[in-house]
Amino acid sequence: MERVKAITESFELPSTLVAREFGVGKKKAAMLFHPDMTDELILRSVLRACSLANKCSGYGELLHEILAVSEAEIADDSDATQKILSGDAIIFLDGASGCIVVNAKKWDKRAVTEPPTETVVRGPREGFVEDFKTNITLIEKRLRTKKLAVEKLKIGREGNTAVAVLYVGGIAKKELVKEVISRVKALDIDAISDSHYLVPCLEERPNSIFPQVGTAEKPDVVASKLLEGRVVVLVDGSPIALTVPFLLIEDFHSGEDYYERTSFATFLRVLRIIAISLAIFLPGLYVADLTYHYEVVPLKLLITVLNALKGIPLPPMWEILFILLLFEIIREASIRMPKSLGTAMSIVGALVLGDTAVKAGIISSPGVMIIALSSIALYTAPALVGTSSLLRVLFTLIGGLGGLYGLTLGVTILIFYLSSLNSLGAPCLAPFAPLITNDLKDGIVRKQLLTLGTRPEAVGSPNKRRLRWSKRKNG
């Protein structure tokens, strides 16, 4: 079998593949597969079916026999290598061109569980896993429409990773879909191990500290984003879906908002915005006020704080930066270290570094409190943790160096920067700047679901109407 030999020898180590030769009637046949990626049981039953098919003379008849035991199809010779690397088994029949591809994939996959970054009290708990097919199925299960398009691409010269671009036809803007596909296709890389490899391709300013591509780990969230006219990118091996265009306000939204009462959902959104503002600006304001503007702090509070600061060797800015550094180290270590050491770590972090340092007079208790509050507040918008952490350090420095003057300037520059940021044509600060009155219904305030009749204008869906409802009169 020339073809089997050619494929086997094209591998760096020919022993990587296994070839099983057998006879089908009077013809010779061979099955080629990757033993690490295939299911032995399926292969055995396929082989048995093939050996029993004595009267078969071509691929068509042989396929008929194989289909009784496994999923299979006829393909070109040129696809054979790629199919083997994807976990399929290939059957060649001597003297006939083409091959039969038998689906014999077998690899371990994680069960569908609730994602750790998007836990909810109410609402679906399914989360994406690393398996591509499972992830697509989870979305298709929610959007049972002919309009749901799943464009499959292969990215990576060596990795050949499967990438899917999902959109709902007629709802997603055609130009947007084209742009996303062309940007993904333009990536010439050896392999991608996660969807985040594609993020810079989809961003207009990849060096920005602000994300311009949304991420989601839950199929219900992704399905609703698709219905808003967004385009979703899934990558094989990654449990994180990318959504574009992405607006900054989405960082303050949670999938659960839509399962809660309107008033409570709005309250939570306001709370998240206040929390993130506190997380970013509180250390800077504290430093600015204690360095330059004592008059801003109420007298009694000022006296208490100054008493606590007595004997602290570091000026407020350096003290806060020091505590921030400690916190970031503890956070990074607690993520990386083995779980069994977690308790010991929190004791070391909280007691030794925190309590003892305060008692030793190296850092002050108000400083620790400010950073603790700011750090807790940081996690109310998990997608923004990286950005907020950097901004927090930046504004602490600005507050320490320029006081309220510096902070005012810093905020103005920050807002100007955000105003110039776009995500695939959609303004990141929408629906506030530019002001899109219609989208304000689901901005900070989340109006009642029945009033969210149109899709977000900022996304630019050609199909604007989403919902119509009229009260039925009984009797």
| Sites of contact with another protein (CB under 8 A) | 292-293, 295-301, 402-409, 411-413, 415-420, 427, 429, 432-435
In whole angstroms, the minimum distance from the beta carbon of 428 to another protein comes to: 9
Residue nearer to another protein on the CB measure, 41 or 433? 433
In whole angstroms, the minimum distance from the beta carbon of 308 to another protein comes to: 17
Scored b (16 or more CB within 10 A) or e, 215-241 reads: bbbbbbbbbbbbbbbbbbbbbbbbbbb
Residue nearer to another protein on the CB measure, 330 or 407? 407
Cβ atoms 294, 344 nearer than 8 A: no
In whole angstroms, the minimum distance from the beta carbon of 266 to another protein comes to: 17
Residue nearer to another protein on the CB measure, 149 or 297? 297
Residue nearer to another protein on the CB measure, 337 or 409? 409
In whole angstroms, the minimum distance from the beta carbon of 396 to another protein comes to: 16
Residue nearer to another protein on the CB measure, 143 or 308? 308
Residue nearer to another protein on the CB measure, 76 or 204? 204
Structure tokens at 107: 């690899």
Residue nearer to another protein on the CB measure, 153 or 436? 436
Q: Which of 105, 27, 17, 20 shows the shortest CA–CA distance to 59?
A: 27
DSSP letters spanning 100-122: EEE--B----------TTS--SS
Q: What is the DSSP letter of 79?
A: G
Sign of the alpha-carbon dihedral angle for 282, 366, 400, 205: negative
Residue nearer to another protein on the CB measure, 111 or 299? 299
Residue ranges of the alpha helices (H) in 28-168? 40-52, 59-66, 80-85, 132-142
In whole angstroms, the minimum distance from the beta carbon of 270 to another protein comes to: 14
Q: What is the rounded distance in angstroms from the CA atom of residue 411 to the CA atom of residue 57?
A: 76
In whole angstroms, the minimum distance from the beta carbon of 400 to another protein comes to: 12
In whole angstroms, the minimum distance from the beta carbon of 233 to another protein comes to: 24
Q: What is the rounded distance in angstroms from the CA atom of residue 389 to the CA atom of residue 371?
A: 11
Q: Which of 12, 401, 421 shows the shortest CA–CA distance to 213?
A: 421
In whole angstroms, the minimum distance from the beta carbon of 420 to another protein comes to: 4
Structure tokens at 313: 């060797």
Torsions phi, psi of 94, nearest 5? -60, 135
Q: Which helix (H) or strand (E) holds 225?
A: helix 219-227
Residue nearer to another protein on the CB measure, 326 or 418? 418
Write the CA distances from 110 to 42, 131, 244, 277, integer angstroms.
21, 8, 27, 37
Cβ atoms 216, 166 nearer than 8 A: no
In whole angstroms, the minimum distance from the beta carbon of 409 to another protein comes to: 5
Q: What angle do CA 178, 181, 183 make, to 5 degrees?
A: 105
Residue whose entry in the numeric block shows the structure tokens 């499967």: 162
